[in-house]
Amino acid sequence: MFLLAGCLKTKTQTAKTEEEKPNVIVILTDDQGYADVSFNGSKEIKTPHIERIAHEGVKFNNGYVTYAVCGPSRMGLITGRYQDRFGGSRNPLFAPNDLSQGLPLSEETIATVLGREGYKSIALGKWHLGAHKALRPLKRGFDEFYGFLTGGHKYFPEEWTLSDISKVQSQFDAYNTKLLKNDTRVEETEYLTDALSREAVDFIDRNAETPFFMYLAYNAPHAPLQATEKYLKRFAHIEDKKRRIYLAMVSAVDDGVGTILAKLEEKGIDENTIVFFLSDNGGAKSNGSSNGELRGFKSNLYEGGIHVPFAMRWPKMIKGGKEYNPMVSSLDIMATAVNYAKATPKNDLDGVNIVPFITGEEQGEPHQNLVWRKYDDGHFAIRSGHMKYLSLVDKKTGKANVSVYDLKEDISEQNALENKEETVRKAFINTFEEWKSQTTVPNFLGLRQNDEYNKLHPNRFKTEVY
Residues labelled as active-site residues: 70, 128
For residues 421 and 428, the answer to whether their CB atoms sit within 8 Å is: no
Which residue, among 280, 301, 243, has the nearest Cα to 43 in the 3D structure?
A: 243
Q: Phi, psi at residue 390, to the nearest 5°?
A: -130, 120
For residues 127 and 137, the answer to whether their CB atoms sit within 8 Å is: yes
Q: What's the one-letter identity of residue 39?
A: F
DSSP string over 325-367: -S-EETHHHHHHHHHHTT---SSPPS----HHHHHTSS-S-S-
DSSP structural state of residue 60: E
Angle between helices 241-266 and 48-55 (to 10 degrees): 60
Q: What is the C-alpha to C-alpha distance for residues 303 and 281, in angstroms, rounded to an integer?
A: 10
What count of other Cβ atoms lies within 10 Å of the Cβ of residue 292? 19
Residues with Cβ within 8 Å of residue 395, at least 6 apart in sequence: 377
Q: What is the C-alpha to C-alpha distance for residues 216 and 127, in angstroms, rounded to an integer?
A: 10
DSSP structural state of residue 217: E
Q: What is the C-alpha to C-alpha distance for residues 70 and 282, in angstroms, rounded to an integer?
A: 10
For residues 389 and 381, the answer to whether their CB atoms sit within 8 Å is: yes
